[in-house]
Amino acid sequence: MTREVIATDNAPKAIGPYSQGIKANGFVFCSGQIPINSETGEMVTGSIAEQTRQSLSNVKGVIEAAGSSMDKVVKVTVFLKDMNDFAEMNAEYAKWFTENPPARAAVEVARLPKDVGVEIEAIAVL
């Protein structure tokens, strides 16, 4: 098995013992991304739509750094602080995956890092 760590300035730096992404056997596994602007280091604290947009932008940065693209994403997991935010998250999410969207799970969790409203992880093919 080949395994390569993905690191990019187009997503927030890992703040613990994990990698932004891992490329292995024709796939890229993107760690959960929260709404931190990688250019400023600032947390996006606006609406769930804004947080979703930033989180997906970070996912895109990791996926592209690995040599893939958002249209090659096969699985996404969305972690929401409040399932009442699902419709707003889903409306923004739909803008990112307009044709042949990937498989997805969306779950409510008790708490997310830095108390954000959403965290998104993804798997893509290379």
pLDDT per residue as tens digits for the range 58-93 = 999 999 999 999 999 999 999 999 999 999 999 999
Examine the pLDDT at 1 and tell me if it is beyond 90. no
- pLDDT for 105 equals 98
Output DSSP code: residue 13.
P
Contact assessment for residue 30 and residue 60, using Cβ atoms and an 8 Å cutoff = no
Share of the chain above pLDDT 90, in %: 96
Q: Which carries the bigger pLDDT value, residue 64 or residue 14?
A: 64
Q: Given pLDDT bands bounded at 50, 70 and 90, which one contains residue 15?
A: confident
Output phi, psi for 36, to 5 deg: -105, 130
State residue 87's pLDDT score.
98
Q: Helix, strand or coil for residue 55?
A: helix
The overall average pLDDT reported for the chain is 97
pLDDT of amino acid 17: 95
Summarised one tens digit per residue, pLDDT across range 23-63 is 999 999 999 999 999 999 999 999 999 999 999 999 999 99
User: What is the architecture, at CATH level 2, of domain 3-125?
Assistant: 2-Layer Sandwich (3.30)
Question: What does the radius of gyration of the chain's CA atoms come to, in whole angstroms?
Answer: 14
